[in-house]
Amino acid sequence: MAAERDHRPGPGRWWARGLLVGYLALGAFVTLRPDPMGRFSRPITKAVMEATDQRWAVAFPLVERGGNVLLFVPLALLLCWSLPRWPRWAVWLLCVAGSVGIELVQALFLPARYPSLVDIATNSTGAAIGVGLHWLLTRRR
């Protein structure tokens, strides 16, 4: 009979969980603020416009959608490391549910924010990338 794996968190798991708590606080600050994060995304959008010669109408959605993807990559990666017993698809579903929750809070309680199905799709894409990255980093060769 094979010995069962020890699922107790090791030092790396506590480190990942500590980072996860901090990242969740940052994510809540970014996504649940009463006002949009325009003052932070505006300079990035201007840099993208200069680098690509694109108009604001093209560059701003790229920055917003790219930011949504990038926001959920580390979240999914940290969740995978923090919850080793969870299958990766369940971590992805948790991220999707979190994204839906964020958009619902924005729709119901934050009138200056703009909830969007596109945000859910881009957040879900970021989560899928994070889960895939975890698979690449932890697979056995």
Secondary structure (DSSP) of 81-120: HH-TTS-HHHHHHHHHHHHHHHHHHHHHH-TTS---HHHH
User: Domain range holding 85?
Assistant: 16-30+37-138
Average pLDDT of the chain to the nearest whole number = 87
Domain count within the chain: 1
- For 14-61, the DSSP string reads HHHHHHHHHHHHHHHHHHS-SS--HHHHHHHHHHHHHHHT--HHHHHH
Asked, for residue 88, whether it belongs to a domain, the answer is yes
Mean pLDDT is lowest, of 10-14, 27-31, 101-105, 127-131, for 10-14
Q: What is the mean pLDDT of residues 117-132?
A: 98
7 within a domain of the structure (yes/no): no
Q: Is residue 6 part of a domain?
A: no
In a domain, 1, yes or no: no
pLDDT at 72: 97
Classify residue 4: in a domain, yes or no: no
The answer as to whether 11 is a domain residue is no
Q: What is the pTM of this model?
A: 0.84
Q: Is residue 105 part of a domain?
A: yes
Residue 65 inside a domain? The answer is: yes
